[in-house]
Structure formats: structure tokens, C-alpha cells
Amino acid sequence: MVFVWNKDDLNDEQVDAIRHPGSVFLSACPGSGKTRALTYKIALELSRLESEKQWVVAITYTHRAAEEIEERIERLGVDTSRLWIGTIHSFCLDWMLRPYGILHDQLKYGFRVVDQHESERRLEELGSQMRPRVAPAICGYYFTTNGVVLAAPAHSQASVHAVLEAFWEGLRDERRIDFEMILLYAWELVRDNPTISILLSSIFKFILVDEVQDTKEIQYAIVASILRAGAGRTLAFLVGDANQSIFTSLGGYAMPRGDFQQLSGVAMAHKSLSINYRSSDRIVQYYSNYHVAPAVVTAEGAFKEYPSKISFDQQIAHQGFEDEIVRLIRYNIEQLQIPPNQICIVGPWWMSLAALTRRLMAAMPDQSFDGPGMAPFARDQDNFWYKVARLALTEPSPRLFIRRLRWAGEVLADLHHAGVMLPNVTRRDILRICNTIQIASQDGLEFLRLFFEEFSSGVGFNPTAYVMLAEHHETFFARSERQIERLLASGVQGVNDIAMFRRTFASRTGITISTIHGVKGLEFDTVIAFALLQGMVPHFAEPNPEESAKKLLYVICSRPRKNLHLIAETGRVDGRGDPYVCTTVLAACRHAYDQIAADAGAGADVEPADL
């Protein structure tokens, strides 16, 4: 039965894009119901599949987005058994490297994927042997179809390249690959073996790509190879917003529609979503100052007429800016009646956010905070035991059933990849086993150790007999112990308690603290952004700083529904001792900002400290 929806579910723009019979290149402004449109399009195409051998593929930027979309489709009552949804790296692993790796010299004897922490450890070790030392932070890189691109400054590229050559050689010797190698080897497989793309195009009826503006050149090439091989059998639905393309330093960019048509051989209709249902008209008008690509955005949501507060402070000193953040939080909670879990603090660099989170926790003990580095165990989403921990630390409930069933499927898939053959064990069996395990310990790490033991016994495998599972087990607990030590040393209370562990997977309950890149795709009632300084926003290494700054500000300012507070504090200095100044694009924006009274939201002080 073909999927149908109620008349009020979608607006005319969404219906036009979803019902278009061919391929679509969809430009979607913030808050326009992009995820809803993508969800309904997937549901529609799933319901139209004519053969059990056909699949719909949806490529998302994050695991979180994949979970949200699949849950929405399930709630629409559409069968997702022939939907594959996940990140591009997972797509390449599942559909190319694992089934066809035998055709590649570097993969034919088997391989294991190293996680980000292991990559950083290896780079740290290799970089420490160089003179001068090469820090892992400048060893970022990505592959294109023509070679490798280094993120290091020009004067460091030679030494960084030497470190990376040793890094790649070490991985090859141990038959391991990192995330960038996943993309490289996937591209090499489809480039050198055209039959792979032909076979995949005969299976995939539709390929949908979310957040297409953050796609890398080599990723475009991989998807285009399948579409071109399909010669019209496989259609595409690409969704994105060129104004939110903020991953350029990682190789992401918004490929023009014409260029992708030429690359893929697929004609694509251009469609647009221009109605913002999220923010007030004042917020929409403000962030329109930072357009890079032309866009028409109209506020039409429930908060269209909300009298938004938009403030900008470039006078506050660095040594007092945390006091100002506390004041603005209290002002929003007490004066504007904003729920704490609808407030987000945004900063440019993740390294400083964990320390800021801890200081705000000390300054506002009456509030809870969800910030980076606050989880009491290693949050490595590719670690097998992290995936089991998600099931261990979430309670069985109808609300979480679809999500936990998906997690159970990931656990089963990882067991299969590790060599554990369980032909008669289903996703529901995994959930049943997890739901029956009872652990009395209130110590978080001990709880997980015991849970993992009972889980392994219940499923029927010995983790120590499988290299991948044993390595992941050791890594999970070693990193978790170090994380707990850091949190305890910072004065965070109750780190070991099982309740703290369970909070990691609970719905957002406190004030969120995030980087600009981490907040993309989210929305809040109020956003407070700090360190809006040239060299931070944008990063000092950006080749096109004005355009990059506009895109970053566009993302920040399009997150709130109601209120926006911008801070460009004075007194910060860079590594050479030169003072940072306000981001040029922000300083040049002329706007009638609101003045938040000095005594508004006055509350507890926070001890200033360098970030």
C-alpha cells in the first residue's frame, strides 16, 4: 500500500518536493521541516518498492540523525526492513568494504577499524618523535579522488606529512584502517571495479543524502558512481543548505546542483523549503544578515510574533564573561520563563567547553548542565561495548523501543563482524536478554563490568576469544577510568554513581553546552554564544575567513526560537600574545540590539579562569 499522509502534515513546498517523480536537489532553510520532508519522502519510497530485493538508502551526517529519522518512519507505520540508514562511513563499510574488500589489496586479508582515540594515540606517539614535536591537533587530513589534503599550516605540512606516512604505514602493517581510509578504499573499490556500482544500483531504488552541504568530494564521487551506473534506475534526493556549510576544514562543501548532475549523470529538479517554523520573525530577520548563498526565508511558526531579545556585548572582559553567562541564564529562566533544558551555551572550541561546564556547575548548583566531557565513561560510538552500554543504561519503555531495537541490531551486526556467528539470535532476543539482567551495584563501572559479563553469557559468546571484542573491552574501561579520574579531579560530584551513568542517555534535562559544529541541527528557545572573535569564529586557518564567519554565525543565530545573546569578550590573547578582536562580520552588522539591564538575572558569581 502506497504511503499517504494527512493534508495538514506537510505544506505545499514539502509536498511538491516529495511527490516529484524524479531526482530532487532540495534547498532547505533552517526550521523548514527538512527532517519531516526527508522522513515522508523515505516513507513514500519504501511503500513504493516493487521487489524484496530493492532498498532505499538514506545517508545522514550523524548517527543521531539516523536514529531520529528511522524512529519517525516507524511511527508513521511504514515497514523499514528494506531501509538502510546511517552515516557515509557506515554505508561504505556495510555495502562496499565488507562485501567487496577481497577485491582490494589492503583489505583482502581482513581489516579492523581504529577509532578516533586510537588514531590520536598513535599520532601523539609518532609526533613526539619529531623535532620539533608535531601535535595530533594539526594532523587532520582527508582524501579526495586526486590525493590527500592536509589541514596543517603551510610551514608544518612537511613534518605533518612525515608523521602521517608513518601513521598510515603502521595501520597497513596491522591491517587496520581509520575513518578517512574507509572513504578512500570505498572510492578505490568502485573506481577499479565498475561492477560494484552496477550491482548496487540494481539494488538501490532511491539514495537520499541529508546535510549534503557537508559532503566531501570523495563522498560525492562514491554516490555519483552508483547513480551513474544505474543509468536512471536509481534516483536521488539530496537535501541541504549552502548557508550552513561549516565543515570546510574537513573537506565538506555544497556542490552546485549542475556539477552533481554532470558527475552523476542524473537530472535533478531544484526544489526549495523557504518557510521557517522554528523562530520568531525577529530572529529570522537577524540571521538573514549572514546569508552567503541567496535565500528567501519567511517566519510562519507559532513563535513568529514572539518579542525576541537579541543582545550583543563586545565590552565585557574575558575575566568576567562567565559571570555574564550566569546572569543571562538566570535572566532567561527567571524573567523570560525559559525552561533550563531549552537554553544552549555555544562556544567555538570544544577544548574549553568541558572546563566551562564544570565552572558553571559550581556557580549554579541549582541547575544541571549537559556539556562535553561530562559523561563518566568513554563515548566512543564505534566501540562494541559502548553500544552494549546504551542498552544497559536505558530502561525498557514503549517510548524507547524503536531506538533500543535499532541499537540491538547494531550490537548483532558488530558481533557478526567480530566473527561471532549467532544465526538464531534476533534483535528482540538481544533486548530480552538485556531486559532480564539485574545488577545491584550502584558503582557505574562495576555495574557495566558485571552487565557485560552477564550479557555475553546470555547471548552465548566468550569476549576474550575474539580480538576485536577483547580490544574494545580493554579500551572502553581504560578510557572510562581516565575520564572518571579527570572529572573527580575537577571537583564533579557523584561521578561513579550509576545515576550519573544513566544520565548520559537520558533526554536533555539541563542547560546544553556545545560547540558551533555540535549544535548544528538542534534548536532551543535561547542561545548564548561567546568567544565570537576573529581567529576563533572563523578559525585562524580558514582560507576564506569572511565567508566562513558568515556561515558560522548563520548556524548560531538560526538555532534559537526566541532569544539570542552574542558575546565577543575583550582581553583574550592568542598564542603569540596578540589580542583577539570581535569577529569582523559580526562587528560590521548594524542591528538594534536589546540592552539587558545590568541587574537582570543577577545571581551567583563564578570564579573567573582562563579557557
In this structure, are 221 and 251 located in the same domain? Answer: yes
Partners of residue 346 on adjacent β-strands? 514, 529
C-alpha cell at 179: 575513518
Q: Are 574 and 568 in contact (CB under 8 A)?
A: no
Query: Cis peptide before 545, with omega less than 30 degrees from 0?
Result: no
Phi, psi dihedrals of residue 207, rounded to the nearest 5°: -120, 120
Residue 572 lies in a domain: yes
In this structure, are 499 and 518 located in the same domain? Answer: no
Nearest to 19 by CA among 298, 274, 231, 271: 271
The predicted structure's pLDDT at residue 606: 42
In this structure, are 539 and 451 located in the same domain? Answer: no
CA 602 to CA 331: how far, in whole Å? 7
Q: Are 501 and 394 in contact (CB under 8 A)?
A: no
pLDDT band at 313 (very low <50, low <70, confident <90, very high): very high
CA 491 to CA 397: how far, in whole Å? 34
In this structure, are 206 and 266 located in the same domain? Answer: yes
pLDDT band at 49 (very low <50, low <70, confident <90, very high): very high
Domain boundary among 483, 503, 523: 503
Phi, psi dihedrals of residue 311, rounded to the nearest 5°: -120, 155
Which range of residues forms the domain containing residue 449?
Answer: 384-503
Residue range 519-542: mean pLDDT, rounded: 92
Q: Are 342 and 526 in contact (CB under 8 A)?
A: yes
Coil/strand/helix, residue 460? coil
Partners of residue 514 on adjacent β-strands? 346
Residue range 394-421: mean pLDDT, rounded: 91
In this structure, are 334 and 483 located in the same domain? Answer: no
Residue 605 lies in a domain: no
Partners of residue 28 on adjacent β-strands? 273
> Quick check: 334 pLDDT over 60?
yes
pLDDT tens-digit map of 117-171: 889 889 999 999 998 999 998 999 999 999 999 988 888 999 999 999 999 999 9
Residue 532 lies in a domain: yes
Residue 301 lies in a domain: no
Distances (CA, A) of 451 to 172, 190, 417, 455: 35, 42, 22, 6
Task: List alpha helices for 82-156, DSSP H.
Answer: 88-92, 98-100, 116-127
pLDDT tens-digit map of 51-78: 999 999 999 998 889 989 998 998 999 9
The predicted structure's pLDDT at residue 213: 96
Nearest to 456 by CA among 475, 443, 473, 471: 473
Residue range 179-191: mean pLDDT, rounded: 97
pLDDT tens-digit map of 576-586: 889 999 999 99
Residue 291 lies in a domain: no
Kindly report the average pLDDT of the chain as a whole number. 92
Domain boundary among 120, 140, 174: 174
pLDDT band at 610 (very low <50, low <70, confident <90, very high): very low
CA 296 to CA 279: how far, in whole Å? 15
In this structure, are 20 and 154 located in the same domain? Answer: no
- Residue 31 labelled as part of a binding site: yes
DSSP secondary structure of 413-457: HHHHHHT---TT--HHHHHHHHHH------BHHHHHHHHHHHHHH
> Quick check: 249 pLDDT over 50?
yes
Residue 515 lies in a domain: yes
> Quick check: 468 pLDDT over 60?
yes
pLDDT band at 483 (very low <50, low <70, confident <90, very high): confident
Residue 206 lies in a domain: yes
What proportion of the chain, given as a percentage, has pLDDT over 70? 97
In this structure, are 366 and 220 located in the same domain? Answer: no
In this structure, are 140 and 12 located in the same domain? Answer: no
Residue 562 lies in a domain: yes
> Quick check: 605 pLDDT over 90?
no
- Residue 378 labelled as part of a binding site: no
In this structure, are 154 and 26 located in the same domain? Answer: no
In this structure, are 151 and 169 located in the same domain? Answer: yes
| Sign of the alpha-carbon dihedral angle for 226, 228, 231, 234 | positive
The CATH number of the domain holding residue 13 is 3.40.50.300
Domain boundary among 174, 194, 212: 174
pLDDT tens-digit map of 366-404: 998 888 767 788 778 889 999 999 999 999 988 888 889
CA 326 to CA 306: how far, in whole Å? 23
Query: Cis peptide before 132, with omega less than 30 degrees from 0?
Result: yes
CA 400 to CA 413: how far, in whole Å? 20
The predicted structure's pLDDT at residue 373: 67
Lowest mean pLDDT among 172-181, 192-201, 349-358: 349-358
C-alpha cell at 478: 581504560
pLDDT band at 601 (very low <50, low <70, confident <90, very high): low
Phi, psi dihedrals of residue 539, rounded to the nearest 5°: -65, 145
In this structure, are 264 and 347 located in the same domain? Answer: no
pLDDT tens-digit map of 493-525: 788 899 889 988 877 778 999 999 999 989 999
pLDDT tens-digit map of 83-116: 999 999 999 999 999 999 999 999 999 999 988 8
Residue range 261-288: mean pLDDT, rounded: 97
- Residue 587 labelled as part of a binding site: no
- Residue 28 labelled as part of a binding site: yes
Q: Are 213 and 242 in contact (CB under 8 A)?
A: yes
CA 580 to CA 591: how far, in whole Å? 22
**Number of compact structural domains in the chain:** 4
Q: Are 43 and 3 in contact (CB under 8 A)?
A: yes
In this structure, are 397 and 489 located in the same domain? Answer: yes
Residue range 264-273: mean pLDDT, rounded: 97
Phi, psi dihedrals of residue 93, rounded to the nearest 5°: -65, -50
pLDDT band at 299 (very low <50, low <70, confident <90, very high): very high
The predicted structure's pLDDT at residue 541: 73
Residue 190 amino acid letter: V
- Residue 33 labelled as part of a binding site: yes
